[in-house]
Amino acid sequence: MITLASDFGSPYPAAMKGVLLRHTDARLVDVSQELPRQDVRAAAFWLRETLPYFPPAVHLVVVDPGVGTDRAALVCRAGEHLLVAPDNGVLRPVARVLARTTGGGSGDASAQPQFFRVDESRFRPTPDGPAPFDRGQSSTFHGRDVFAPVAGVVHDVGVDSLLGEGRLTRPDSVVDLELPTATVESDVAVGEVLVVDDFGNVVTNVPGSFLEGHERVAVGDETVPVGETFASVGPGEALATVGSHGFVELDVNRGRGDDRFGLAPRDAVRLEAA
């Protein structure tokens, strides 16, 4: 199984699927082609929230504002999962979760992901037969020309074989990325907006436990009820709840929390339990 995640929209991912299917008969599963555009941190958040629900798989991730520069292409082994992505930190948060929960005989909390650098010159989109176009590797679409071929080969032959051939090598270092954490002191939490989802729900980085035992919370100047479900308030009314990711979410029942609270990704958020 190979999953695909990108910020490409449509139809670029089709070229990646075509390339993958030239390499392998693996099942392909779309995670998202609509990740927040060129926002590595937001992509890292969504990958951490989705990929760990999958059984062991190869995960192909292309959110790549540095495409064509000298940033490396990476393969990551995290527990029973393999991941392929540019070296910009996008894999770090999810790889930690996958290593911890499926690594070292499943559930060794100290297991760490391993990263490998790709020798891009030794992978090509069309392994068999003639290439469809007389083009070299593009500078702007490594999803098609580098990452998809690598994912297809990694799926079929595995990391160890590629290490033996020198098509993967151990890098000196890889880009790290940690999602920001909120500061919580008794009844006040100071954090920020991680993402806004398609419903307009504002996902903060304040742990959901902050809301425990409280009936209302102040968000900036406004105080809203704490609810367990959207429907705990009337249609069009705002609330704070614990989202499916375990963080405090600022929502409007059957409406958009981002419009109501005037909040966007990376905005600072101050919550005070009331």
Instruction: Tell me the C-alpha to C-alpha distance, in Å, between residue 15 and each of 20, 22, 34, 144, 147.
Output: 9, 11, 16, 6, 12
Scan residues 106-125 and list those touching a second copy (CB under 8 A).
106-107, 125
Nearer to a second copy, 169 or 181 (CB): 181
- Partners of 238 in the beta sheet? 252
Among 67, 151, 182, 252, binds a second copy (CB under 8 A): 67
DSSP line for 25-83: ---EEEEES-SPTT-HHHHHHHHHHHGGGSPS-EEEEE--TTTTSSPPEEEEEETTEEE
Q: Is 179 in the site for a second copy (CB under 8 A)?
A: no
Of 51-59, 82-90, 166-174, 179-187, the segment contacting a second copy by CB under 8 A is 51-59
| In the complex, least distance from residue 168 CB atom to a second copy, rounded to whole angstroms | 24
Scan residues 120-159 and list those touching a second copy (CB under 8 A).
125-126, 129-133, 135, 138-141, 144-145
Nearer to a second copy, 168 or 252 (CB): 252
Scan residues 183-202 and list those touching a second copy (CB under 8 A).
197-199
The answer for 105, left when phi > 0, alpha when psi is -120 to 50, beta otherwise, is left
Q: Is 89 in the site for a second copy (CB under 8 A)?
A: no
Structure-block tokens of residue 167: 């098509």
- Centre a 10 Å sphere on the Cβ of residue 28 and count the other Cβ atoms it contains: 17
Scan residues 213-252 and list those touching a second copy (CB under 8 A).
228-232, 241-244, 246, 249
Pairing of strands 58-62, 81-86: parallel
- Helical packing angle, 148-165 and 12-23, nearest 10°: 40
| In the complex, least distance from residue 145 CB atom to a second copy, rounded to whole angstroms | 8
Q: Is 274 in the site for a second copy (CB under 8 A)?
A: no
Nearer to a second copy, 191 or 243 (CB): 243
| In the complex, least distance from residue 259 CB atom to a second copy, rounded to whole angstroms | 14
Nearer to a second copy, 42 or 273 (CB): 42
Q: Is 104 in the site for a second copy (CB under 8 A)?
A: no
Is 125 buried (19+), middle (13-18) or exposed (0-12) by CB count in 10 A? buried
User: Per-residue b/e over 200-220, b at no fewer than 16 CB within 10 Å?
Assistant: bbbbbbbbbebbeeeeebbbe
Q: Is 55 in the site for a second copy (CB under 8 A)?
A: yes
| In the complex, least distance from residue 164 CB atom to a second copy, rounded to whole angstroms | 27
Of 100-108, 110-118, 174-182, 258-266, the segment contacting a second copy by CB under 8 A is 100-108
